[in-house]
Structure 1
């Protein structure tokens, strides 16, 4: 049966999928969409072609392969269609879907956010220890499972990279994907992240799907990695070291949590876990504790170096 509440949420958000009971004409037939979902889809305002993201001083070149939903529509999708708490739509600039997909029957949906992180250095891109990042996130995820079990929720496991972090220096895009397992689920989850680096911030496209759809989502992620251009003066190469803010982390920091850390602190991931049932935290290394454990290790090492 199709999941009418499936899809992606924004950075560090919770996806609380709702699956209404829908009658079938015959056992193997796809269920009809709930009328409320169909009505919502008709009331949206999709855009194709070049779409400006003013907050990021950027333009998304979507062509006719994808369509964009502005912030107000994205909020309706996240809250009304996918049944997320209203606060999860705060800061969401829009969403992107494949041209023929609906918000209630889509393989994936990409949620767009922008964070004024400061300029993220990429000069040591080839030296990033992503194996170490993954290990730290996995350890943190497992440590968090004790709290999840105590609260009565399913343990979550970070299986590994569905796609190891890959940095495109020409387009200043960082892409990676995680395979997630929620105990009891027949199919593992897929979380694809696309980060597009600008002069003083990062544009994020976060995609949530099933591992069954890896090929489709990978293709879309690669397209997004090349589909954004920043306005003149706002591009990565326009960075001015003497006047612009610089992020206190690099590419590995983005993968480990980076942009999501501030959001995670603001919303309080533990409170979310206790409030909602079957949750998936995305954008913060699949589970909040994974980020905190990794960051604490990094900070600890930095403090030791300063003392020395």
Structure 2
């Protein structure tokens, strides 16, 4: 039996996404028409209920305004895609609120997918947004990545290198959104990987949208990331400006901490996405949810998974 799909897992809290005034999105026929897909995967694709329009994320007290450019799969279906279609470990679904993809694409198309999660981190102070030293953050992340390569090679995985910023961190003080992207190189892979991160700051937590793709797709992914940074609104009482210092908790870190490791800085005290540890033959990503695109083959390469496993 051949296993196929992406390989990633992340630490996050369990929550559920529920559509608000959502409408059904027409589904393409790519899954049914794609040769080589197992019948179970075709059935999975047909069982999904993509939604567009406004989608409510109750645990985050937020609404995604997707319009008709993207579609949303709720938590239960997103977890099935991650585990059954993209062949992640079951724990990958922990903390996933939903999955967003571009319209007219399926879960098997070679495109990006944005995994949504939320962490009750406490209020992240953006007062020093202009003075953040992201160059130092990048150097620390690069050093941490290189330190893990010996373990990766010993376990039979190729070394991975953080090339640098594909987009330096930028903060939108109006929408309270922080966006950045990293370029990743895996030894033996001619195509570099692209990891885009979008963080929306709320009253006492951070809504996260993470995308993984190839550098060749940076234009499309950048456009989607910028759109996501402007398309989220928090409900009354849950917005950034609703923070009450006398009653609400504050985060243990600022914007640089989000970039260095996302919400995991206060949870796991690790570097984040790039703090990769090999345990029991699986690739475990410590940090906020940062899953692959529907391009399960590409994701497998980006994370250094052995091409095929046969049982």
Instruction: Report the TM-score range of the alignment, normalised by the length of the smaller protein.
Output: 0.7 to 0.9
The equivalent of 2:178 in structure 1 is 174
CA pair 53-210 structure 1, distance change in 2 beyond 3 A: same
Change (3 A) 1:283 1:165: farther
The structural deviation recorded for 1:5 is 3.0
Q: Using a 3 Å threshold, how does the CA distance of structure 1 residues 220 and 170 change in structure 2: closer, same or farther?
A: same
Which structure is richer in relative contact order (CA contacts within 8 A, separation 6 or more)? Answer: 2
| Structure 2 residue corresponding to 1:191, chosen from 188, 195, 203 | 195
2:249 to 245, 248, 252: 245
Q: How far apart, in 2, do the equivalents of 1:229 and 1:276 lie?
A: 40
Ranges in structure 2 where 5+ consecutive residues have no aligned partner: 13-33, 291-311
Q: Secondary structure at the match of 2:204?
A: coil
- When residues 72 and 284 of structure 1 are mapped into structure 2, their CA distance, relative to the original with a 3 A threshold, is closer
Name the structure where strand makes up a greater proportion of residues.
2
**Residue by residue, what CA displacement relative to the aligned partner does 1:107-128 show, whole Å, maximum 9, x if unpaired?**
1000000000000000000000
TM-score under structure 2 normalisation? Answer: 0.78
- Deviation of 1:282 (Å): 7.4
Cα gap change, 1:186 to 1:153, in 2 (>3 Å): same
Q: Matches of residues 125-140 of structure 1 in structure 2 within 5 Å?
A: 125-140=129-144
Deviations 1:153-207 (A, max 9, x none): 2111000000000000000000000001111112111100000000000000010
Q: Is the 8 A contact 2:54 2:64 kept in 1?
A: yes
Counterpart residue number, 2:303:
none
Match of 2:208 among 200, 204, 207: 204
Provide runs of 4+ in structure 1 moved above 3 Å. Answer: 8-13, 30-35, 261-266, 269-272, 279-286
Total equivalences in the alignment? 264
What is the root-mean-square deviation in Å for CA atoms of aligned residues? 2.6
Contact 1:256 1:284 in 2 (8 A): no
Whether the aligned pair in 1 keeps the contact of 2:9 and 2:91 (CA below 8 Å) is: no
- Aligned residue for 1:54? 58
* 8 Å Cα contact 1:137-1:285 kept in structure 2: no
- Displacement of 1:41 in angstroms is 1.1
SS in 1 for 2:191: coil
Shift of 1:34: 3.8
Which stretches in structure 1 are left out of the alignment for 5+ residues? 14-29, 287-308
1:282/1:102 CA distance change after superposition, 3 Å = farther
- Deviation, structure 1 residue 146: 1.4
Higher percent of residues as helix = 1
The reply to whether residue 42 of structure 1 matches residue 64 of structure 2 is no
**1-structure distance, mates of 2:45, 2:179:** 29
Q: In structure 1, what is the equivalent of residue 19 of structure 2?
A: none
Contact 2:276 2:285 in 1 (8 A): no
> 5 Å matches for 1:79-90?
79-90=83-94
SS in 1 for 2:78: helix
CA distance 1:261–1:11, shift in 2 (3 Å): farther
Alignment-derived partner of residue 5 in structure 1: 5
Which of 226, 232, 236 in structure 2 is aligned with 1:232? 236
Matched, 1:110 2:114: yes
